[in-house]
Amino acid sequence: MKTILEYIGNTPLIKVEEENDSSIFAKMEGFNPGGSIKDRIALNMIRNAEKEGIIKKGDTLIEPTSGNTGIGLAMVGAMLGYKVKVIMPDTTSVEKIKMIKAFGGEVILVENLRYKKFAIEDARAMAKNGAGLYFLNQYENMNNPYTHYKSTAEEILNQLEGEQLDYFVAGMGTGGTITGIGKKLKEKFPTIKIIGVQPARDERIEGLRSIKDGFVPPIMDVDLIDEIYDIEESKALETKDDLAKKGILVGPSSGAAMYICREICKNNRRVNIITIFPDRGERYI
């Protein structure tokens, strides 16, 4: 009998829709036990830290997160015997906060602007202030993109059933997803275009960050990305709601990515586009 952690990964790949003789595929990461793609990196960052002897059961793991990584860490931590403390912006959906607390995690809410500027430094300072505290640091931890290179991208290639890919569209947060998957897909399809999606200036889309804010996560391979699209929150939410009416309940970052996929379809014929739907929509209702 498997444990819940053994059901992380191997999520479905679906054809969302066809338009202009083109197809849009999506990796449905909401099917992970904790409801998002971040379950993958939560498990692998913890397991790697264990292998290196950096952490042991009973320790407290600290992480700044807009929500999904916190949920993943709290779930995995509950299974493996770790306490979890997360720093979150005060704009985070109440559903995400409740989920983290349900798994036994502690939530520290900070003003959104401070979160953007100082959350990483705050987490690093907290980890230095006591024994048994460890900052996993998804923004700098190379196990983040490596997880997607070795698992998520490999799953995609196995699920494509011979289909060629012309575009990979992904929302940008830590940069782990677009970097890890993008690198693997470039190896398989050298001409594929890697497209990043970020919030437009002064816009907020939960789960995404803009590198125009002045912070480029160290793990993000910007040179891998062919083009970056800015998107307004309203368009992301409208697309999310439209997907729900078609039976696909996902979050705002999925709506943002899907909107850009549709824009690419309008301007290109006979192309295959793949994107990531990072989480489920229930946590945003």
Please report the domains of the chain, with CATH numbers, ordered by start residue. 4-31+152-284 (3.40.50.1100), 39-135 (3.40.50.1100)
pTM: 0.96
190-220 tens-digit pLDDT: 999 999 999 999 999 999 999 999 999 999 9
The reported pLDDT for the residue numbered 282 is: 92
The CA distance from 183 to 176, in Å, is 11
Contact call for residues 108 and 65 (beta carbons, < 8 A): no
Residue of 36, 151, 253, 254 with catalytic role: 253
Tokens at 123, concatenated: 């987490």
* Beta pairing class for 106-110 and 227-231: unpaired
94-102 helix and 68-80 helix, angle to the nearest 10 degrees? 10
Residue of 38, 85, 193, 235 with catalytic role: 38
Q: Which long-range contacts does 17-21 make (Cβ < 8 Å, 24+ apart)?
A: 17/246, 19/262, 19/265, 19/266, 20/265, 20/266, 20/268, 20/269, 21/269, 21/270
* Beta pairing class for 60-64 and 83-89: parallel
- Residue 38: active-site member: yes
The reported pLDDT for the residue numbered 117 is: 84
Backbone dihedral region for residue 282 (phi beyond 0: left; psi -120 to 50: alpha; all else: beta)? alpha
157-178 tens-digit pLDDT: 999 999 999 999 999 999 999 9
- Residue 23: active-site member: no
Tokens at 190, concatenated: 């050298």
The CA distance from 38 to 259, in Å, is 22
